[in-house]
Structure 1
Amino acid sequence: MTEPVPAASAPSGGCPAHADVLPLYGPRFLRNPSELYREMRQEHGPVVPVLLEGDVPAWFVIGYREVHHVLSHPEVFARDCRRWNQWDDIPPDWPLRPFVGYQPSTLFAEGDEHRRRAGAISNGLFAVDQFDLRLRSERIADDLIDAFAGRGEAELMAEYAHPLPLLALAGIFGMPEEETPGLLRDMMTTVNGDEGALDAYQGICATMERLVAHRREQPGPDFVTRMLNDPANLTEEELIADLVLVMTAAQQPMAYWIGNTIRLMLTDDRFSLNLAGGRRSVGHALNEVLWEDTPTQNYLGRWAARPVLLGGQQIDAGDLLVLGLAAANGDPRVRPASDTPALGNQAMMSFSYGEHRCTYPAPELAEVICQAAVEVLLDRLPDLLLAVDPEDLEWSPSVWMRGLVGLPVGFTPV
């Protein structure tokens, strides 16, 4: 028997104007968020009135078709957060400000301006040689494994899943090695909304400022240099903002994609029985994680450009919509048999959709890095086993991301 979803009263004058509003935060998200999404859908339908941290009102869009509709109509559900009708009530230290506060990045740009900015990012990423990226990711994986292979035990999130994508991204960016430890620390603090998140975000910006200055003086065959030379003629402010965006939008989701896939392969007989042989199963596991345990669970956000009806709810101009990407992936209207393996189905919302989706070819590059990480680990440590019961694994206390705090494992020392 499941415990009821607690309700709270909406603050007066705020959207959504409903008597009972659900808090989109709290410990239930750590245990079984998919169960919570099902309860929300049963009680409210595909669009749910919610309160964010600090009792800030918003709409939570959890229906697949509704998420698809929102992302397909940027002229109605716009990206520029300055439309928000709640800014007067938002305190300066609100922990979600790093995600919602306006930045001069591609993330908040619209129309032709967004296409100009996103085009520069796409051009820079298209030049990444995927074969070379695979080899570099394998070398990074081997170096990280070498550091703990002789112990017979490891904590894979801290020692492997988090640093590996950051090191791979650092190579793409042409970043000096000494910058990576501080950058990783700042990104984890920012994404998790921990104490000091605002200062950590400023630290990420400062790191990118130093990197841009370095690449102006010493150009190279790297993403930052290509962004500097792109015909989009990005200003300094635009360039820094977009570099921060690409780095933060890539590292943490990749770390959780790696960790969630390793967990799946160590706990699900469909995958764990084939660890010694089937490389094909790694690709299947990566895809299944995007459907069932996607790293980016919920996404802030879209703002209604005008009053509109969505999923049976009246949305007012300036209302904030939170995109429930994980909930949409599990919508029974499009996936009636949730226990059916996703296999090669790529229609998940894990990389978003529409003109503001994850910039192509970023999803392909992320898959190259994550597949190399999982395959090298299982090749090097074929008898890898969890060191705790699966139920004892702790999830990150974030409504926005789904990933493990720790992944302790044991294996034969090599």
Structure 2
Amino acid sequence: MTPEPLFPTGTDEPLAGPPPGCPAHGMGPGGLRRLYGPEAEDLGDVYEKLRAEYGSVAPALLHEDVPIWVVLGHSENLHMVSSPSQYCRDTRLWTALQDGTIKPDHPLMPLVAWQPICCHAEGDEHLRLRGAVTGAMSTIDHRGIRRHINRATQHLVNKFCEKGRADLVGQFAEHLPMAVMCQILGMPEEYSDRIVHAARDMLKGTETSIASNAYIMEVLMRLTARRRAEPEDDFTSHLINHPARLNDEEVGQHLRVVLMAAYEATANLLANVLRLVLTDPGFRAQLNGGQMTVPQAVEQSLWDEPPFSAQLAYIAKQDTELGGQRIRKGDGLLLGIAPGNVDPRVRPDLSANMMGNRSHLAFSGGPHECPGQDIGRAIADVGVDALLSRLPDVQLDCEEEELRWRTSLLNRHLVELPVYFEPRPQQDVKAKPSHSPVPPQRTDWEVGTKRPEPAAAAAEPQPAAPAQQAAQAPQEPVRPTGAWRRFLRWWRGY
């Protein structure tokens, strides 16, 4: 027998809320769990409770108690994103938007409001708009971009390498993707602290998000007008000149989609991979010993801590069934990336190494699968490898438990990642990369340990001045170049 619907949609009567003083935490009308508020700070725990209660598809509540189906199962998520005849991204079909349940000032409105972009389009219009985006992406010179990623990494490391301390979120992970994306779009002169701040701010839902969004769009519309008049060999020019013939508004909006999705996802991915390297001794040992490559480390991170933990919203185009639940036409569904990645039917042992397995949900799937995932992977692969080559002794400068996270419905990212290392001189960013000498290993070395206390540190030999280090460098043992590094240097064009 088909299960009865659990949402107050269609002709069903609204469900009553819990009585005053009810001890059920995080519960809303009908006893449904909320995906927001203080009770939902650990969404991973909420998802597992939902899985235990309902199975692979569960009813829950968004902000202001808007009903939503949370898809928790790996195969159920793949079925949903790969079945455009049953589920779509056209939020105009969402019953909660049609009947006013989601009000114009709803905090999630910027994420669910329909826009004339490929993310929300279906059918022929989706093919036209997405075809223009993927066509422009096919013109990207991947070897050239990898060289730019390496140079941008060296430039960022130069800003803090002489200090011996850094925050790899604020000084590296949040900057490298923007520097690369500005180059790809054809506006390297726009890369600055201001655009980095605006990109992070506009996704936080703060009071300044609207102004940050307006600034980003102003930059992109100026670029569109400039490239319409004077095309060059960059992503924006190829998007404008694609046979789909996008107008200026469509070009600007799709530039924003590409820029923001690539930036946020890659900034989170970089921070997560570096956190794994710094906090898991076995993980780092595998990298150093050659049992794992940086690309494999990136895929492991995409399984364990995907850059986006969920995605809003898919809409049921007809009455259907998913994961044993009756889904009504017009119901909204949440693509559960993080819970799908830890589905016990797919990963019975979460500690198992996935070793490059790409069947995770980090980049979604189906017609709306992320078209720029290879660029994101390249930024993470090259950026992490280049940083670790420059700072092979980098260590976490706090206890892992002290790391702070910022959590929202759609993602969970590190606030900062403090590290320390032996100070090093700057490098010429235009020169061919050279591997720094491997420093003597500390006898008490352990990934994740704090810097020695001042008294202990004073007893250790003090690092030489940058000029002296440079003079002594040739006498130091140089790390041998293995087959993987020779391949990387060939791939990057050195």
Whether the 8 Å contact between 2:28 and 2:65 is mirrored in structure 1 is: no
Label 1:54 to 1:204 Cα distance change in 2 as closer, same or farther (>3 A): farther
Whether the 8 Å contact between 2:25 and 2:39 is mirrored in structure 1 is: no
Whether the 8 Å contact between 2:295 and 2:356 is mirrored in structure 1 is: no
**Hey, what's the Cα distance between the residues in 2 that align with 1:279 and 1:243?**
39
Q: Choose which of 322, 328, 352 in structure 1 pairs with 2:364.
A: 352
The Cα of 1:202 is off from its aligned counterpart by 3.0
Aligned to 2:409: 399
Residues 9-408 of structure 1 mapped to structure 2, 5 A cutoff: 9-10=28-29, 19-27=30-38, 31=42, 33-87=43-97, 88-178=100-190, 180-274=192-286, 276=288, 278=290, 280-359=292-371, 362-408=372-418
Whether the 8 Å contact between 1:384 and 1:410 is mirrored in structure 2 is: yes
Mean Cα displacement is larger for which, 147-156 or 268-277?
A: 268-277
Count of residues in Structure 1 that have an aligned counterpart in Structure 2: 400
Whether the 8 Å contact between 2:93 and 2:317 is mirrored in structure 1 is: yes
**Hey, what's the Cα distance between the residues in 1 that align with 2:206 and 2:291?**
37
**Aligned Cα RMSD in Å?**
1.8
**Hey, what's the Cα distance between the residues in 1 that align with 2:179 and 2:242?**
24
Gaps of 5+ in 2: 1-22, 425-494
Q: Which is bigger in relative contact order (C-alpha 8 A, separation at least 6)?
A: 1
**Percent of residue pairs identical:** 37
Mean Cα displacement is larger for which, 36-45 or 164-173?
A: 36-45
The Cα of 1:177 is off from its aligned counterpart by 1.9
Gaps of 5+ in 1: 11-18
Mean Cα displacement is larger for which, 362-371 or 89-98?
A: 89-98
User: For 1:352, what is the secondary structure of its paired residue?
Assistant: coil
**Hey, what's the Cα distance between the residues in 1 that align with 2:115 and 2:345?**
36
Mean Cα displacement is larger for which, 161-170 or 214-223?
A: 214-223
Whether the 8 Å contact between 2:70 and 2:333 is mirrored in structure 1 is: yes
The Cα of 1:193 is off from its aligned counterpart by 2.4
Letter in 2 for 1:271: F
Whether the 8 Å contact between 1:283 and 1:371 is mirrored in structure 2 is: yes
**Hey, what's the Cα distance between the residues in 1 that align with 2:239 and 2:301?**
32
Mean Cα displacement is larger for which, 136-145 or 74-83?
A: 74-83
The Cα of 1:210 is off from its aligned counterpart by 1.2
Query: Between Structure 1 and Structure 2, whose CA radius of gyration is higher?
Result: 2
Letter in 2 for 1:294: P
User: For 2:340, what is the secondary structure of its paired residue?
Assistant: helix
Q: TM-score, length-normalised on structure 2?
A: 0.78
The Cα of 1:237 is off from its aligned counterpart by 2.0
Label 1:118 to 1:285 Cα distance change in 2 as closer, same or farther (>3 A): same
**Hey, what's the Cα distance between the residues in 2 that align with 1:60 and 1:79?**
15
The Cα of 1:283 is off from its aligned counterpart by 1.9
**Hey, what's the Cα distance between the residues in 2 that align with 1:25 and 1:51?**
8
Letter in 2 for 1:8: M
User: For 1:299, what is the secondary structure of its paired residue?
Assistant: strand
**Hey, what's the Cα distance between the residues in 1 that align with 2:80 and 2:202?**
26
**Hey, what's the Cα distance between the residues in 2 that align with 1:293 and 1:178?**
30
Letter in 1 for 2:35: L
Label 1:236 to 1:97 Cα distance change in 2 as closer, same or farther (>3 A): same
**Hey, what's the Cα distance between the residues in 1 that align with 2:279 and 2:69?**
35
**Hey, what's the Cα distance between the residues in 2 that align with 1:376 and 1:251?**
19
The Cα of 1:187 is off from its aligned counterpart by 1.9
Label 1:213 to 1:250 Cα distance change in 2 as closer, same or farther (>3 A): same
Letter in 2 for 1:399: L
Q: TM-score, length-normalised on structure 1?
A: 0.92
**Hey, what's the Cα distance between the residues in 2 that align with 1:192 and 1:155?**
20
Label 1:158 to 1:335 Cα distance change in 2 as closer, same or farther (>3 A): same
The Cα of 1:215 is off from its aligned counterpart by 1.4
Label 1:56 to 1:204 Cα distance change in 2 as closer, same or farther (>3 A): farther
Letter in 2 for 1:245: V
**Hey, what's the Cα distance between the residues in 2 that align with 1:83 and 1:145?**
48
